Amino acid sequence: MSSRSSIWQWTALAGVSLPLALALKWAAFPAAMLLGPMLAAVAFGLRGAGVRVPGWGFQAAQAVVGCQVGTAVTASILATALEAWWAMLLVVGATVAFGALVAAALERWRLLPSNTAAWGFSPGGAAAMTALASEYGADVRLVAFTQYLRLFVVVLTASGVSRLLLGAAPSSFQPAPLLDFGFAAPDGALLAALGVIGGGCWLGRRLRVPAGAMLLPMTAAAALHVTGAAHLSLPPWLLAVAYAGLGWSIGLRFTPDSVRHALRAIPALLGATAALIGLCALSSWFLNAALGVDPLTAYLATSPGGLDSVAVIAVGSRADVPFVLAVQTLRLFAVVLAGPLVARLVCRAASPKGGGDSCP
């Protein structure tokens, strides 16, 4: 693709994304600056747009969101989360089991090969699951499409549920001005935040930590904030750029080729995704009943989406962000570590004599 064509496509994509994001923000949707670009990118991707968010751009966006989330952590909130570790473990275990159950059902009804279904419905870590699937004999194109279709549906659903629950909130809630981008000269707090973002992003790549570009800045920012060692501040314009980067990265993966490859499976994938969301919603009911966690926080904590996208929605709503991220982070590591074992169990249970696609 020529540089002129690339510049034109990025300009057009940004020109569509901004008004769509502002319309969603005017309607008080959480994470409007993520949803608008994501919806615009899906439309551009399906029309054959050749631009893609580079890997470093996606990781930088994750690092910004991670730093923002880390600044919301306080010592009292951390203590509350540690007290509820047993409930978090139960919820995470149930979510992994739900993903395996949905994958087994898809194979039993001959809607997807067992190995591909198992990797496609591992709830979380879409990029990691796609990369691992290629090493275990699954159909990588179908796994990638399944993962990002699930992520797309989950983000839309979570944002819609958050909007409904926010609608029932006290009238004291006031949405931010539509064009409040807060441009200002860099100060010490911003420079400290940029240092955390850059250092965490670099270290995550070097250590190959799953979602390290987000988790390491989030951990560092939380530690600095809780101990009072440094004050971090992120301007609205930087957050808006990061949210747009995440939305574009998700949406542009929906290309005509990927959709054609999975066309016959789309109804089954949508149904399975709805089933997984419903099963995970049962876990949110458990958190609400056992710990007294508010419904919005419980729903986002158990939502089977990506860590970064759920973080953006949680920050844009009235949820308990550290609790949501604690559960989501624990699930991410559980899914990455247990993914090969779950895929093997689902595949062997579905094809005890070695039938179907190759088992890991």
- Encode pLDDT of 55-97 as tens digits: 889 889 989 988 987 887 777 667 767 888 899 999 999 999 9
Residues 261-277 have pLDDT tens digits of 888 889 999 999 999 99
Give the pTM: 0.78
pLDDT digits (tens, 9 = 90+) for 207-240: 877 678 888 898 899 899 888 888 888 888 899 9
Per-residue confidence (pLDDT) for residue 325, from 0 to 100: 83
pLDDT of residue 286: 93
Of 148, 165, 223, the C-alpha closest to 192 is: 223
Q: Report pLDDT digits (tens) over 165-191.
A: 765 443 333 344 444 555 454 568 889
Query: For residues 83 and 100, is the Cβ–Cβ distance under 8 A?
Result: no
Determine the pLDDT at residue 106: 87
**pLDDT tens digits for 240-264?**
999 999 989 989 989 898 888 888 8
Q: Residues with Cβ < 8 Å from 310, sequence gap 6 or more?
A: 158, 300, 303, 324, 328
Report the distance separating Cα 360 and Cα 356, nearest Å: 12
- Give the Cβ contact number of residue 351 at 10 Å: 17
Q: Which of 62-66, 99-103, 141-145, 173-177 has the lowest mean pLDDT?
A: 173-177
pLDDT value, residue 171: 35
End-to-end alpha-carbon separation of the chain, Å? 38
For the ranges 39-43, 222-226, 294-298, which has the lowest average pLDDT? 222-226
| 183-213 tens-digit pLDDT | 454 568 889 999 999 999 899 888 877 678 8
Report the C-alpha gap between 116 and 346 in whole angstroms: 10
Per-residue model confidence (pLDDT) at position 125: 67
Of 5-9, 76-80, 356-360, minimum mean pLDDT range: 356-360
C-beta of residue 324 within 8 angstroms of C-beta of residue 81: no
> What would the mean pLDDT of 5-23 be, rounded to a whole number?
94
Query: What integer pLDDT is reported at residue 127 of this predicted model?
Result: 67
pLDDT at 140 over 80: no
How confident is the model at residue 178, as a pLDDT?
47
